[in-house]
């Protein structure tokens, strides 16, 4: 598999969690963001970390040990507006991942990207089966808009950490 450009959206306000830096919460000895960056390196040619004024204090990560990361500052006022702006300027296919996503095994990310690239749809979203499909914050864009498809994975294989209680659903396993 050829690696693709990726963007990690880390500019939200974190109101449900109580902090915009919820992706710095430590799980299994690593921050959620650090684990996500490790998992993403296997599919990402480079990563653009989208920050906002509420999360800009972590921009040092773009010059630290991760040589494939660049930072960009967005308004942080509206996720869709920020994502739309980035989709207009970044090459496709583009993998978008929310910074507060915990992936239990990086093989899930590899499988998702491979399957998404093979579909004919323009936008492919990873969802989990949680008594119905639930969005978790991972989408592959071949175009900024167009046809859409979901690929479903099992509950707890990918966890969207919106609230502090969501941290309890994480099972430690590093691949």
- Tell whether 63 is covered by a domain: yes
Alpha helical stretches, state H, 103-163: 106-118
- Tell whether 175 is covered by a domain: no
- Tell whether 171 is covered by a domain: no
What CA–CA distance (Å, rounded) separates 59 from 95? 20
Q: Peptide bond preceding 93: is omega within 30 degrees of 0, i.e. cis?
A: yes
CB 151 within 8 A of CB 134: no
* Predicted pLDDT at 142: 98
Q: Render each residue's pLDDT in the chain as its tens digit; 175 residues.
A: 799 999 999 877 666 665 667 788 888 788 888 899 989 999 999 999 999 888 877 777 776 665 667 888 898 888 899 999 999 999 999 999 998 899 989 999 999 999 999 999 999 999 999 888 899 999 999 999 999 999 999 988 998 887 667 667 776 654 4
Domain range for 48 is: 4-166
- Tell whether 173 is covered by a domain: no
- Tell whether 38 is covered by a domain: yes
Tell me how many domains the chain contains.
1
- Tell whether 174 is covered by a domain: no
**Cβ partners under 8 Å of residue 42, min gap 6:** 106, 109, 110
- Tell whether 8 is covered by a domain: yes
| CATH number, position 41 | 3.90.550.10
**C-alpha distances out from residue 122 to 4, 116, 125, 146, 164, Å:** 15, 9, 10, 5, 33
- Tell whether 57 is covered by a domain: yes
CA-based Rg of the chain, rounded to a whole angstrom?
15
């Amino acid at each position: 598999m050829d690696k693709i450009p990726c963007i990690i959206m880390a500019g939200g306000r974190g109101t449900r969690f109580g902090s915009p830096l919820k992706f710095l919460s430590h799980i299994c000895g690593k921050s959620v963001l650090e684990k996500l960056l490790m998992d993403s390196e296997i599919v990402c040619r480079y990563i653009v970390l989208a920050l906002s004024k509420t999360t800009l204090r972590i921009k040092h990560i773009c010059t630290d040990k991760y040589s494939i990361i660049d930072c960009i500052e967005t308004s942080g006022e509206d996720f869709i507006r920020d994502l739309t702006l980035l989709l207009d300027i970044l090459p496709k296919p583009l993998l978008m991942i929310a910074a507060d996503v915990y992936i239990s095994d990086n093989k899930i990310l590899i499988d998702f990207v491979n399957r998404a690239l093979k579909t004919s749809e323009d936008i492919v979203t990873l969802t989990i089966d949680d008594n119905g499909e639930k969005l978790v914050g991972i989408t592959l864009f071949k175009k900024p808009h167009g046809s859409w498809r979901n690929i479903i994975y099992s509950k707890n294989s990918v966890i969207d950490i919106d609230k502090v209680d969501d941290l309890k659903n994480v099972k430690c396993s590093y691949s």
